[in-house]
Structure formats: structure tokens, C-alpha cells
Amino acid sequence: MKTLTQSPTGPAFVQDPYPFYAAAREQGQLHHWQDYGMAAAFGHSAVHMLLRDRRFGREVPEEMHKDGAAHLAPFLAVEAHSMLDAEPPRHTRLRRLVLRAFTSREIAALQPGLEDLCHRLIDEFPAAPFDLLDAYCTQVPVIAICRLLGVPEEMAPQLLDWSHRMVAMYQASRSETTEHAAAEAAQAFTDFLRGYIGKRRNDPRDDLITRLIAAEEEGDKLSTDELIGTCILLLNAGHEATVHSLGNGVKTMLQQGWQPDWLAPDGIDGLVEEILRFDPPLHMFTRYAYEEAEVFGHTFRRGDQVALLLAAANRDPSALDRPEVFDPSRPPKVNKSFGGGLHFCVGAPLARLEMQIALPILFGRCPDLRLAAEPEYSNTYHFHGLTRLLVTV
């Protein structure tokens, strides 16, 4: 297995990681990424297999578990109850209970309100150049999550602040300052949700928190800590990913010269899938080996980590014709942006719905939308999103 060196915080890589991915794929499916100190899967076949291979998983092997730093205790307490880092049987139990509350019917019920929200946000666009990320791309998903959870919409700025500080823990540029900020945010978020869940137990409403409280299977329910972990996961993962899916998508459409048929009822699904494939918001997802396993000529030992490069797999020419070309008319057969296997993103239907609503309304209302400055990506790998998206209407 070849060893590759590439700083995930290098300025050129931050702005365009795809040349590094392409060079890695040309040398094979699997390599050792020295900067992360682990094997990394760059090819579609390897990523696809590892997402589904039950010899690998998200949960730290028991013998490798270490107590975290004391200053991170509030953050780690939330992580301990997140199904994102759980494996069966705990993951199976949590996911089934969440899916009983997080149904396609409940997600679809958000559509009329989201359409009205998009129009209201556009009504408030200024005539001068402005940041579309702040004015639109961020507002749609965070308000959608507020409405879904049943949290007052005026809480959105506070939820965003907590979310940003917690999600920064997964970035390559993480520092001790980041850790303290994440711990403080986790504690504040937990305290808020604990009180809010208590209110919902005594005053049930038609919202996700109430349905999560009521969700039950064979006499088993979510504990309060599991409820808190699930709500935080839904906000952090759902908001962060959709903001950058919308931002990256609008950027790509404007640079490519968008076509009206992309946004037509029979074209929007293909557009959303191609946006997610072409420039996704999450580029890396990791797994632990649970037993000795040989994958593409490399032998993993129990406890070894492997990085799955979702964005690299999305552009593998062995799996897709002309993968560097943005083509919303192509069949969406190669898209690893939501992961795969038992950890396939539970919020994928909501993310797709938000994009299917927000993009046609935006370009329908603002057909003369233009970039007002060259977009730049944030130094937030393994997330891939813009610092801002300056536009004029």
C-alpha cells in the first residue's frame, strides 16, 4: 500500500481537493494517508464495500476505549448517546426508535411551510451584493429543523451557534480552543434540551421531540440522554450538511451556466443528486476494523482505522463516465454522499426535500442571480463548504 502525503489544511487542497483524489485513485483503491495516520479508500469500489462490510464499524473497539480529557466531558457525554457512533445491537435499537418518529409523512408535511419560508427569505434579499449562505442557505435547513423538533424559530441563531462550535470538533483544524468551545456548547445545548424535553413530556405537541418521547418498540423507549443525543445529531448533521449542499450547489450551477430544465419537476431530482455527487458537503467518514480483514491487498488488524473518501468515490471514472463533468441528466447511480449500509444518513429524505424546494424557488424568483465575488471554501476539512457566497439578484 502506497503512502500519500497531503495536509488537509493546505490552502490549495482546501480550495480543490479533487486533484489529490484523482492522483490517489490512479495509483489504486486504497492508500496510507500519512497526515491522518491511517489507510484511506479513494476508489468507488473500496468505499462502497467498506460502507457495507460488517467487519468494520463506527464504534471504538472496547479494548481501545479511553477516558477523554476532563474539559471535553459535556461533549463526550453527547457523543456517547449518538447513534452515529454506535453499532448493533445498540445502533439497531436507536435507529428503529428514531425512524418510528422521523417518518416520511412527517418530513413531507414540512413542504408547504418550507415553500413559504423560501419566498419570505427571498422577499428580504437586498439589492446590493449579499451573502446567500447567511440569507438563504443557512436559514432554510435550520428553521426546518426547529419546526421539525418543535423548538421556537427564534431559537435558530442560538442553535446555530451551538451547532457550529460542536461540529468544529470534527475538523482537521481543531485546536484546544475549539475543544473548550465545543464542550461549553454541548453543555448549554444539553441543558436546554433536558428542560425542553421535560416540558414536552407534560405538554405533548405535534413535533418530533414529542414523537421521540412516545416512540416505543417492544416496551423499549429512548432515554432522556438518548433523546438529547438524537436531537443534537439531527440538528448538527442535518443543518451543517444541507447548508453546504445548497451553497456548493448554487455555486456550481452559477459557474456551469444553469439550465431551466434542471429545475423542472422532472429534472429537480437529478439536479439534487448530481449536486450531492459532484461537490458534497462531507468528504470523509471513518471506520474501525473489528477483526483481521484483507481489503484490496491490505490486511487490517482489529482496531485499525480506515478513512472512506466519499467525495473521491463520487468521481471515480471506473464507476462513472465523465465524472468531472457536472451533468444533472445522468442517472444517479454513483452517489456516496449520504454514506451507505446500516449507517446510511437517516436525514437524507429531509435534506433532499429541502434542496428540491429551495433551489427551484430561488432560481425561479431570481433568474438573474449572479456571483458577486469568487467563492472560497472554508478550512474545515473533512467538511467542504464555502466561507460565504456573495451574489447579486
pLDDT of residue 17: 98
pLDDT value, residue 241: 87
pLDDT, tens digit, for every residue of 114-164? 999 999 999 999 999 999 999 999 999 999 999 999 999 999 999 999 999
> How many residues would you count in the chain?
393
pLDDT above 70 covers a percentage of the chain that reads 100
**1 pLDDT exceeds 90?**
no
Q: Alpha-carbon distance 307 to 51, whole Å?
A: 11
| Other Cβ atoms closer than 10 A to 3 | 8
**What CA–CA distance (Å, rounded) separates 246 from 249?**
5
For 258-306, the pLDDT digits (tens) are 999 999 999 999 999 999 999 999 999 999 999 999 999 999 999 999 9
The strand pair at 305-309 and 38-41 is best described as parallel
Cell representation of residue 308: 472512506
Q: Does residue 217 contact residue 330 with C-beta atoms inside 8 Å? A: no
Taking the CA atoms of 262, 263, 264 and 269 in sequence, report the sign of the dihedral they define: positive
Ranges of H-type helices in the chain: 11-15, 18-26, 44-52, 73-79, 90-101, 104-108, 111-123, 132, 139-149, 156-167, 176-202, 208-214, 224-256, 268-278, 310-313, 348-365
pLDDT for 159 equals 93
The single-letter code of the amino acid at 327 is D
pLDDT band per the 50, 70, 90 thresholds, residue 217: confident
Joined grid coordinates for residue 13: 487542497
State how far the Cα of 185 lies from the Cα of 162, in Å rounded to an integer. Answer: 5
**If you average pLDDT over residues 171-192, what whole number do you get?**
95
- What is the number of other CB atoms lying within 10 angstroms of the CB of residue 67? 8
Positive or negative: CA dihedral 365, 370, 371, 377: positive
Report the share of the chain in percent with pLDDT over 90: 89
Report cis status (omega within 30 of 0) of the bond before 89.
yes
Q: Which helix (H) or strand (E) holds 125?
A: none
Report how far residue 209's alpha carbon sits from residue 150's, in angstroms, rounded to the nearest whole number.
Answer: 7
pLDDT-based confidence at 236, cuts 50/70/90? confident
Q: Give the pLDDT confidence of 166-181 residue by residue, as tens digits.
A: 999 999 989 999 999 9
For residues 221 and 213, what is the distance between their CA atoms, to the nearest angstrom? 7
Per-residue pLDDT averaged across 13-41, rounded? 97
Q: Are 286 and 307 in contact (CB under 8 A)?
A: yes
Return the percent helix, strand and coil in the chain, to nearest 5. Answer: 55, 10, 35
| Residue owning grid cell 502506497 | 2
The SS3 call for residue 40 is strand
* pLDDT at residue 224 greater than cutoff 90: yes
Angle at Cα 74 formed by Cα 68 and Cα 75, nearest 5°? 70
pLDDT band of residue 66 (cuts 50, 70, 90) is confident
Per-residue model confidence (pLDDT) at position 223: 93
Task: Say what the pLDDT of residue 216 is.
Answer: 79
Q: Please give the pLDDT value at position 267.
A: 96
Radius of gyration of the chain, Cα coordinates, nearest whole angstrom: 21
**pLDDT for the residue 362:** 98
Kindly report the backbone phi and psi dihedral angles of residue 73, in degrees, each rounded to the nearest multiple of 5, phi listed first: -50, -50
Q: Residue 262: what pLDDT?
A: 97
Mean pLDDT of the chain: 94
Buried b (16+ CB within 10 A) or exposed e, 164-189: ebbbbbbbbeeeeebbebbbbbbbeb
Please give the Cα distance from 76 to 63 (Å, whole number): 18
Q: What is the pLDDT of residue 333?
A: 80
φ, ψ of residue 52 in degrees (nearest 5): -115, -10
Q: Note the pLDDT tens digit of each residue in 241-270.
A: 899 999 999 999 999 999 999 999 999 999
